[in-house]
Amino acid sequence: MQPITEIPEMPEYIKGIINLRGKIIPVMDVRLRFRKPFREYNDRTCIVVIEISEVSVGLIVDSVSEVIAIPDEEIVAPPSMAKEGNRYIKGIGKVGTDVKLLLDSDKLLNDTELEGLSEL
């Protein structure tokens, strides 16, 4: 994983910034965003860069095992049993006998957080 430059006075889950091909990208630890315990970074730890409301954000994830396309007809709405936890889930993808949770990236950060990150 490439080095991350820390930024003071950011939420704990915003780990800092990286320089990706000349573009400054804020980086968020997904585990910490979901209030999970911190895990030491290792050789499997990855930064996945996504767009959230036109702001590039790097997501620190434990590992990436595969990148797949799931047809729309294999995606269903998440169950409505735990509303708070479901706010980050856009859908559930069926892949053979497995299921994959699909994150709603637009809900990872609120407008105020995005505005602060876009100014970095």
Domain positions in the chain are: 14-118
**pLDDT by residue (tens digit) across 16-46?**
999 999 999 999 999 999 889 999 999 999 9
| pLDDT value of position 111 | 79
| pLDDT value of position 84 | 64
| pLDDT value of position 83 | 60
Distance CA 101, CA 79 (A): 11
Strands 23-29 and 55-61, how do they pair?
parallel
Nearest partner of 62 among 43, 86, 88, 90, judged by Cα:
43
- H and E: helices and strands count for the chain: 3, 7
Residue ranges of the chain with pLDDT lower than 70?
A: 81-85
| pLDDT value of position 87 | 80
| pLDDT value of position 78 | 86
Domain boundaries 14-118, corresponding CATH code: 2.40.50.180
